[in-house]
Structure 1
Amino acid sequence: MLNTLIIGASGYAGIELVYYLNKHSYVKILDLVVSSNSQDLGKSIDELYPQMKKIINLKLKSLDQAMKTNKKIDVVFLATDPVTSHNLVHFFIKKKCVVLDLSGAFRINNVNFYKKYYGFVHNYTDLLKKSTYGLAEWNKKNISKAQLIAVPGCYPTAALLSLKPLIESKYLDKKYYPVINAISGISGAGRKNILNNNFCEVSLNAYNLFKHRHEPEISYYLGIPIIFTPHIGNFSRGILSTITCKVKSDMLYEDILTIFKKFYSNEPLIRIYDNKKTPALKSVINLPFIDIGFSIKGKYLIIIAAEDNLLKGAATQAIQCLNIRFGFLETESIL
């Protein structure tokens, strides 16, 4: 059994980690951790989230309280903000834990990126070099031996899984930047009570044009520039991404389908639509899959990807990485 800490357990992604890891055949959750000034400190997780009743009732502790037990910790999940993750990863790496970080604090090996897009100075260039990007379907070999796994952002997961097959197959016309319009539910902004994230205040609108921190992440791992426009909608969870791009020559629907099936036919958490239909959010909410469909007209290709931002875009992708890292069935506790 892997003795496991979940830090940031009371957040939206954190509670999904709690639920799925509690079902894991090879994981023992030692403690659920929140910040020392959290209003949730000392509460039972099933008091905070009634859906956890008769499933798990551990109390939320501070990190100091959790570390006093002196129990060996094998795995740490960080469902925390980037600054908190930045400050904690080194501590757990020194303790020889495997760390899975759901924040953006270790995704890109460039210290200037963090100052520009995250607003803090990154002090761990050595760990940035050792960090492994946890795009599970594309980086299994490195994930399988990593000590620090940086789980991709929710928007990048949908964009990268949609576009990488075309890039790897050399069919994408790189002279034309892929245009990614993605709509996320309010849960993507986290659980903090901020007026702009209040359900009654949210309308469907674009935000952070040309400056969203996920744009350089997507571009970095695709190896090409992109145009990314994020939107927030007045629904709780899920992401729908519409990606418009151009291929090098006229292609048929069956040609694109063959490309996607080549890369994903054996991937259990990717569902490719092969009936000329496109995904909707209702098909993926509360499920760990990403659904991908498309339409092509000559050289112009539109890809539609749908995922639950808290699952395939966060918690279950992190657990998928855990399973790859330790040689378990990739879908253990997920399906």
Structure 2
Amino acid sequence: MKQEPIQCAVLGASGYTGIELVWLLHNHPQFSVKFAFSSSAREAEPISTLYPQLSGRCELILQPWHSDLLPQLAQQVRVVFLALPHEASAELAPQLIAAGLVVFDLSGAFRLIDAQQHLQAYGFKQPKLDAAVPYGLAEFTQLQGDEPLIAVPGCYPTAAALALRPVSHLLTHDSVPIVNAVSGVTGAGRKAQLHTSFCEVSLQAYAVAEHRHQPEMAASIGRDILFVPHLGNFKRGILATIYAQVQSGISAATIEDTLQACYADKPLVRIVNTPPKLQQVVGTPYCDIYCKMHGQQLIFSVAIDNLLKGAAAQAVQLANQYFRLPPSAGLMNPGAVV
């Protein structure tokens, strides 16, 4: 018998990550988007008004969120995806949990375990919850299906951790991996800002060694890292080049075998034979990883779509795991919106 669809809602649906979530869930065989919410400052409107490419394909009404809608939401959906600013998620997630809803949070509100690190990175106190919040790097997370809240990793940490975690035990004890990563401008969100305007953007490093993703990246990999993010004058995608020192006697074959063994049963990570191009991952849920040895120096080239594998697709991948669905369910055919 066909299963009843799992009703869900997306808050922050007007943004780039939010609209990708809506589109993935709209096309998912097991999930159904009951509500798509935007800021309370907006009027209700068809989602295709903001994203005309969805006209005739997705006729959801984008509704302004108000807290008095929470009782109705709790009665009609089971799962809520938060594609909100960090502080907004921090305030709302505990209310949703208290109402009995399962929350997948794409903000940084609950990614860091250390409260002081969180305060330094995000500038506000992290709410205290009754239960520990799992960090949902999908390929390394085992959800039990009873967690009230799952923290979806950031885009840069996803790219770096998927490369480094399988081989971390093969690195020298004092190795501090260097992560140079370039992101498209959609990583800064949909709000108009001068520094992310295509007419203003050049290839430029920013937040050097102080990006808020650095402590998240270090925690996920299990060692200190040096992270230099860059903003590129393209729309979407992340290309990361990563350097790390391996132990004496570790060969390229050992690295290759370790990566292949780690990802043999993980279909959304592909070990590739040539350095990946962004065009081969943009619009897909894949992470493509290339590695090469130079002496005892290990070099990775990693490509993901920052809005999909780095955000919306990973959230859906985690929801698939939560509900015991195949990891790639609903992720292979919809295509990108933005």
**TM-score where L is the length of structure 2:** 0.93
Give 1:309 shift: 0.2
Alignment match, 1:321: 318
The yes-or-no answer on 1:286 pairing with 2:286 is no
The yes-or-no answer on 1:23 pairing with 2:27 is yes
Alignment match, 2:128: 125
| Other structure's SS at 2:13 match | coil
Q: Is the 8 A contact 1:185 1:235 kept in 2?
A: yes
Alignment match, 1:198: 197
Alignment match, 1:150: 151
- Measure, in 2, the Cα distance between the counterparts of 1:166 and 1:308: 23
| Other structure's SS at 2:240 match | strand
Alignment match, 2:89: 85
| Other structure's SS at 2:309 match | coil
Instruction: Specify the code of the residue in structure 1 equivalent to 2:82.
Output: L
Give 1:66 shift: 4.8
What is the identity percentage for the equivalent residue pairs of Structure 1 and Structure 2? 40
Instruction: Specify the code of the residue in structure 2 equivalent to 1:101.
Output: D
Which 10-residue stretch deviates more, 145-154 or 318-327? 145-154
Alignment match, 1:45: 47
| Other structure's SS at 1:317 match | helix
- Measure, in 2, the Cα distance between the counterparts of 1:68 and 1:221: 36
| Other structure's SS at 1:313 match | helix
- Measure, in 2, the Cα distance between the counterparts of 1:196 and 1:143: 42
Alignment match, 2:110: 106
Instruction: Specify the code of the residue in structure 1 equivalent to 2:125.
Output: V
Per-residue Cα deviation, 1:127-183 (whole angstroms, up to 9, x for no partner): 5x521111010012x35442201000000000001000112xx21113120000000
Number of aligned residues: 326
| Other structure's SS at 2:290 match | strand
Instruction: Specify the code of the residue in structure 2 equivalent to 1:319.
Output: V
Instruction: Specify the code of the residue in structure 2 equivalent to 1:130.
Output: A
**TM-score where L is the length of structure 1:** 0.94
- Measure, in 2, the Cα distance between the counterparts of 1:226 and 1:326: 34
Q: Is the 8 A contact 2:170 2:250 kept in 1?
A: no
Give 1:69 shift: 4.2
The yes-or-no answer on 1:14 pairing with 2:18 is yes
Give 1:93 shift: 0.1
- Measure, in 2, the Cα distance between the counterparts of 1:297 and 1:110: 36
C-alpha distance 66-58 of structure 1, shift in aligned 2 (>3 A):
farther
Give 1:100 shift: 0.2
Instruction: Specify the code of the residue in structure 2 equivalent to 1:318.
Output: A
Q: Is the 8 A contact 2:287 2:309 kept in 1?
A: yes
Per-residue Cα deviation, 1:99-150 (whole angstroms, up to 9, x for no partner): 000000001122212321111122x2225x521111010012x354422010
| Other structure's SS at 2:219 match | helix
Instruction: Specify the code of the residue in structure 1 equivalent to 2:129.
Output: D
Q: Is the 8 A contact 2:94 2:129 kept in 1?
A: no
| Other structure's SS at 1:137 match | helix
Instruction: Specify the code of the residue in structure 2 equivalent to 1:58.
Output: L
- Identify unmatched segments of 5+ residues in structure 2: 333-338
- Measure, in 2, the Cα distance between the counterparts of 1:2 and 1:212: 36
